[in-house]
Amino acid sequence: YIGGSGPDEAGGVSVDQDHNVYVLGNTQSEDLPTASAFQPTYGGSGSFGGDLFLVKVAPDEVISPTLLAIYALAYDNQPESDGNLTPYYYASLEPIVDASRTSPDKTAIVLADLDGEGDTQIHIVHQGVITPVLGLPDATGVLSPTLREYNMTDGTSLGGFLLWARRTHPATTTVFSYVGHNAPLVPAAEAALILGPGVRAARSNAIPVPTWWVAHPDVTDEHPRRLLSAYELARALEIGNQGRSPIAVLDLINCFAGSIEQLYELAPYVSAITASPNYTYLDPAMLGQVLGEISPSTAPRQLAQAIVGAYDAILPTTDHPRLLVAVDSAQLLAIKPAWDSVSGALYQALQEDFAGTRSKLENAYQASTKYDSSFCPPVDWSLAPPDALSDLGSFAQQLSIQFGPSSEVGQGATTTQARLQAAILARHSRDGIPWFTAPATPGWSFAGSSGIALYTDFQALSAHGKSYLNWQAHWYTSTPGSDNPFPFAFLRPVTTAYTWADVFATFWSQESVATWTCLPAFPVVQRTGELAVSRIVLPLPGMVTRNAPTTLAAEITTSEVADRVRVRFEVVENSTLVFSNTITVSDLATGTHTLRASRSWVPGTTGLYRLTVTVDPDGRYTEGNEANNTLQFEDTVQPENSRRPQIQAAIPNNQQWFAEPAISLQIEPVLSTQRAAQAIFPPEALAIQIYQHSAASLEVPIEVAEVRLPLTSFPTVTLPLPPEVKPGLVILHIWATSGRGAAADPIVLTFNYAPPEAQISSGEVHYYRFAGQVNERLLFGLESAPSDGVRLFLWTPNHYGLPDLQLAPPQTNSLLVAAPLSGAYLLAVQGQAAASSRYTLAVTLTD
């Protein structure tokens, strides 16, 4: 029996090819059973009212609701950027795997594009099992094994992926989360026009394209360099919906997604949307945490409410001011006709009284609440004019005040507010000072804000002797053009002759303005921990000479695992800053690490100098003790005639693996710039310190041996490894020496020593580290005596959790690795139960 306690009437019955029965009818039952219904509760009224219902009945089983969670992780950022999301990939992926372990009714498909070329990858996650997919779907949704890189801003590619995901893993409810960097109101335009730089001619009667360019390095995708437009994302949704019901919730975890222009573009293809009109934040674990909390049987609108509520509960309550909203797509679409009526009335008022109407628009703009968009220097971080994004509800209210509630403008503004309120399913806000704005301390408050933004660039920024509008102004039009083929749908006329774009253009019609491209500096997550500069390692006292490249290094100590740590090296001579270099380290395990400046300091004068090393110079970490974040070292720069010998050293052909204890080195003396044919002070010998990691020194290698070699000829020198060197990673510090002393700095080289029949005891671990290039195929062979005496573990770059791959002889003695990323791979061989074992590790690069 299908029905409730009230009148139910079937109007039609249909059967599909799988013998499922569909019943369409009308009900006045307030308790009609539902499962994943578009409208889960009764909405009819009156004795002649009622709701339509559609019921699907399977011939042999109860159809249980299922959830497909699709994630698009746009983590392809510049590797050296502090906003690079790639280091958070595994921290994002593993909680999703954990959340799936006890949920057989949930499947997750994770599309991730990382910061290399050819490293876009898909994983299917179900009941704690993660399955990699070979290749990527093409534009038609067909998996192509040879396709390895996506442009995550291309709607055709994303649409093909969505179509493939929904076709291969059908579910009653689908949630699509897009995570990545973005800017406000990105148009469907050529990337070079947005990202510049350069001056380009403007179209007639249009605000010009950007003539200045001050962009933060982080865009949505680096390969190629692009930003995500609402038009391209809508294309992807349209392709992914082919022959299927709309996606239940579109979850946008990128800054500034919650504008009416962007949401209106996306609303036709999804039931509900979650977004933020301002900055939003990423806690990598929150994707999996939310997946664990939501239910497949929840209706789309309630599902969107649950998602934003969970995000708000997970994110910190302090230092992360935010406004998150869940939006009903159907109700949001009804906002445009109301706002178009406001626009038409304002346009007519500008024709009749330009100065008076313009003044009222300015007053409404000044009085309405704002979202950050003034990214051009000097950045003030305040939510105030000249920010171009106003809250739509607040701005509509101010228009009603300025023009009067009974005016045509006021009536349309009131209707807009009512429809806006109906569209917003949930709103979560936190006020406060954002952690990433230091030293500025703007107080962000979202009181009076509805949660949906509108572009209102009514106050120009003054710089370079000109007045500038935000770069979006050039594309804020309803007229298609060669550089704007698809204007925002919200700006295109439907039932009225004029839209908000016409009001904006008329407002600026009597002034000469330019545009300036400035992209936001994206925060990732605030970090906590204890960091310290424990010792300055280089330079050594008395070893710095004028005009000689000098390496700067210091030991940095962390009390817990630290991510994206910055270290700044500064040198002052005669009260003048002469050198400054800041490095960023992706991951530091607990312990002490020796870190070097990324370039050498070349002293130009003799005399006193002071080196200052600071960890976390911009205060991105919250620490209990910050007094030990800085350490100084003072010494004297020696005259040039006291220079020590200098060499260049390398391992021929960048060889990374050696099976024999004879290491070939290529040594060349550094020639003097004054006497090009002669060495500065010819090196006479090499002092080579050999370092290795051990179980007791995993963070900082320890010296295990030292070898001195006379230099009788160049360039080939053979280093015999002493017996103290064990299998594993070997680090050489090579010092050139002569009668003048030793070189100021050592040359550092690394390689792996993997001798045949290597001995290992139970529980002992030999660590190897090698550089892999994406798509390289490496074959690892492992033989041991006894046959089960060792196991092999492999970690891919940026992964510091459980091993990615394992090899356990004698079940299998070889492991073929197709490198998914370029970077440093860690390999470990561990002794098993036998008190002592011997193993032979062979590494081969295959085609």
The pLDDT score that the predictor gives to residue 200 is 39
Of the chain, the percentage scoring pLDDT greater than 90 comes to 49
Query: Can 68-204+216-328 and 758-846 be said to share one CATH topology?
Result: no
Report the range of poorest mean pLDDT among 75-79, 219-223, 337-341, 789-793: 219-223
Distance, CA of 277 to CA of 284 (rounded, Å): 20
pLDDT at 656 over 70: yes
Asked whether 225 and 192 are in contact (CB, 8 A), the reply is no
Is residue 525 a contact partner of residue 284, using CB atoms and an 8 Å limit?
Answer: yes
Burial (CB < 10 A; 0-12, 13-18, 19+), residue 582, is middle
Asked if 469 contacts 508 with a C-beta cutoff of 8 angstroms, the reply is yes
Choose among 154, 128, 127, 799: nearest CA to 136. Answer: 154
Architecture per CATH, domain 758-846, reads as Sandwich (2.60)
**Pairing of the two strands 424-430 and 8-15:** unpaired
Out of 166-180, 692-706, 707-721, pick the least confident.
692-706
Is it the case that residue 234 has pLDDT exceeding 80? yes
Mean pLDDT value across residues 254-269: 96
**Whether the predicted pLDDT of 86 surpasses 70:** yes
Check residue 451 and give its pLDDT: 97
Report the alpha-carbon distance of residue 83 to residue 85 in Å, rounded.
6
790-795 and 758-761: which strand pairing?
unpaired
Q: 47 or 294: which carries more pLDDT confidence?
A: 294
Residue 116: pLDDT band (50, 70, 90) is confident
* Residues 13-39: tens digit of each pLDDT: 888 877 788 888 888 877 676 665 666
Judge whether 126 and 96 are in contact, CB under 8 Å: no
Q: Which residue has the higher pLDDT, 311 or 54?
A: 311
User: What integer pLDDT is reported at residue 583 of this predicted model?
Assistant: 86
What would the DSSP string read from start to end of 409-434? HHHHHHHHHHHHHHHEEEEEEE-B--
When pLDDT is cut at 50, 70 and 90, the band that residue 642 belongs to is low
Per-residue confidence (pLDDT) for residue 455, from 0 to 100? 97
DSSP 513: -
**In the chain, what are the domain boundaries?**
8-57, 68-204+216-328, 333-421+449-518, 527-639, 647-740, 758-846
In this predicted structure, what is the pLDDT of residue 223?
Answer: 78
pLDDT value of residue 799: 64
672 φ/ψ angles, rounded to the nearest 5 degrees:
-70, 140
Mean local confidence (pLDDT), 830-840: 91
SS (H, E, C) 575-613: CEEEEEEEEEEEEECCEEEEEECCCCECCCCCEEEEEEE
Confidence of residue 462 (pLDDT cuts 50, 70, 90): confident
Kindly report the length of the chain. Answer: 847
Token pair in block for residue 815 = 């492991």
**11 C-beta neighbours (distance < 10 Å), count:** 10
CA distances from 786 to 600, 760, 810, 840 (A): 49, 11, 9, 12
More confidently predicted of 219 and 130: 130
720: burial class by Cβ within 10 Å (0-12, 13-18, 19+)? exposed
* C-beta separation of 684 from 711 below 8 A: yes
Cβ pair 787, 809 in contact under 8 A: yes
* Residue 837 pLDDT > 90: yes
Find out whether the peptide bond into 720 is cis, omega within 30 degrees of 0.
Answer: no
What percentage of the chain has pLDDT greater than the value 70? 88
pLDDT at 750 (0 to 100): 93
Exposure on the CB side of residue 604, measured as CA atoms within 13 A: 8
Residue (of 81, 142, 174) closest to 583 by Cα position: 81
Nearest to 478 by CA among 504, 499, 494: 499
For residue 91 the two structure tokens come to: 């921290």
Which DSSP symbol is given to 66? Answer: -
Is 129 within 8 Å of 98 (Cβ atoms)?
no
Position 77 scores a pLDDT of 83
Instruction: Name the nearest CA neighbour of 254 among 228, 235, 225, 222.
Output: 228
Q: What is the mean pLDDT of residues 575-581?
A: 92
pLDDT, residue 690, reads 94
Tokens matching residue 400 = 């009603």
> Looking up tokens 């006329």, which residue turns up?
493
Residue 641's pLDDT is 57
Question: What type of residue is 685?
Answer: A
Taking residue 320's Cβ as centre, other Cβ atoms within 10 Å add up to 22
pLDDT band at 824 (very low <50, low <70, confident <90, very high): confident
Given a cut of 50, whether residue 843 has pLDDT beyond it is yes
End-to-end CA distance of the chain: 63
- The pLDDT score that the predictor gives to residue 45 is 64
**Residue 691 CA: distances (Å) to CA of 666, 721, 726:** 19, 12, 10
d(CA 687, CA 70): 57
Where is average pLDDT lowest: 326-340, 344-358, 730-744?
730-744
Task: Give the pLDDT confidence of 235-249 residue by residue, as tens digits.
Answer: 999 999 987 889 999
- Looking at mean pLDDT, say which of 243-247, 340-344, 515-519, 744-748 comes out highest: 340-344
For 611-623, what is each residue's pLDDT tens digit?
999 998 877 787 8
* Separation of alpha carbons 37 and 448, rounded Å: 33
State mean pLDDT over 48-64: 73
For the sheet with 823-831, list strands across it. 765-772, 823-831, 790-795, 805-807
Contact partners, residue 723, CB within 8 Å, separation at least 6: none
**Which residue bears the tokens 């939510």?**
383
pLDDT of residue 521: 57
**How many CA within 13 A on the CB side of residue 31?**
3
d(CA 350, CA 35): 52
Cα distance between residue 732 and residue 238, in whole Å? 57
Mean pLDDT score of the chain, rounded to an integer? 86
* Residue in 735, 350, 626 with CA at minimum distance from that of residue 509: 350
Residue 202, pLDDT above cutoff 70 = no
Quick one: which of 185, 246, 175 has its CA closest to 452? Answer: 185
Q: What is the pLDDT of residues 134-173, one digit of tens each?
A: 899 999 999 999 999 999 999 999 999 999 999 999 999 9
Least confident of 95-99, 116-120, 435-439: 435-439
What integer is the mean pLDDT of 546-552?
A: 87
Least confident of 129-133, 521-525, 786-790: 521-525
pLDDT value at residue 633: 95
Question: For residues 696 and 698, what is the distance between their CA atoms, to the nearest angstrom?
Answer: 6
The more confident residue out of 543 and 331 is 331
| Local confidence band at 559 (pLDDT 50, 70, 90 cut-offs) | confident
> CATH fold of 68-204+216-328, please?
Rossmann fold (3.40.50)
- CATH topology for 527-639? Immunoglobulin-like (2.60.40)
Q: Is pLDDT above 60 for 198?
A: no
* pLDDT for residue 337 is more than 80: yes
In 317-467, alpha helices (H): 329-333, 335-352, 354-367, 392-403, 408-423
CA-CA distance, 590 to 561, in Å (whole number)?
5
Closest CA to 561 of 681, 440, 432, 699: 699
Whole-number Å distance between alpha carbons of 847 and 839: 26
Q: Using alpha carbons, select from 699, 684, 666, 506 the residue that is nearest to residue 594.
A: 699
397: left (phi over 0), alpha (psi -120 to 50) or beta: alpha
- 283-327 pLDDT, tens digit per residue, is 888 999 999 999 999 999 999 999 999 999 998 888 889 999 999
What DSSP designation does 315 have? S
675 falls in which pLDDT band (50, 70, 90)?
Answer: very low
Predicted TM-score of the model (pTM): 0.65
**Which residue type does 346 have?**
L
| Residue pLDDT, tens place only, 780-798 | 999 999 988 999 988 887 6
C-alpha pair distances (Å), 534 with each of 623, 628, 691, 796, 829: 16, 8, 20, 30, 32
Q: What is the mean pLDDT of residues 515-523?
A: 65
Q: Which of 240, 243, 298, 300 is nearest to 273 (CA)?
A: 300
- Residues with Cβ within 8 Å of 143's Cβ and at least 6 positions away in sequence, in order, are 133, 134, 135, 136, 137, 164
pLDDT of residue 745: 73
Answer yes or no: are the C-beta atoms of 387 and 373 closer than 8 Å: yes
Characterize 361-398 residue by residue with b for buried, 16 or more Cβ atoms within 10 angstroms of its Cβ, and e for exposed.
Answer: bbebbebbbbbbbbbbeeeebbbebbbbbbbbbbbbbb
Question: For 96-105, 713-722, 735-744, which range has the lowest pLDDT when averaged over its residues?
Answer: 735-744
Confidence of residue 211 (pLDDT cuts 50, 70, 90): very low
